[in-house]
Amino acid sequence: MSEIKRVKISSIIGTQIPEFLSIEAPLFKEFLTQYYTSLEYQSGPIDIISNIVNYKNSKAFNNIDLT
């Protein structure tokens, strides 16, 4: 199975904002970029949603006794 390439939301958010909003609220684009960047880190919410099957597969992780 080939690996799926995902585009990070934070890298394309600037192209998705309407021009009038960019003019009226110039910091909105920067806010959204930083917001989505904060969600896209490894083991963050977006990573977990995107890779839930891999995280669910218990063979992908070492069994560590935490007691």
- Cα distances from 60 to residues 8, 17, 18, 28, 36, in angstroms, run 24, 38, 42, 39, 27
What tens digit of pLDDT does each residue of 16-67 get?
999 999 899 989 999 999 998 888 877 778 777 877 777 777 665 566 665 5
DSSP state of 36: H
Per domain, the residue ranges of the chain are: 9-60
The rounded distance, in Å, linking the Cα atoms of 16 and 9 is: 10
pTM of the model: 0.60
| Residue 29: partners with Cβ closer than 8 Å, 6 or more residues away | 13, 14, 17, 22
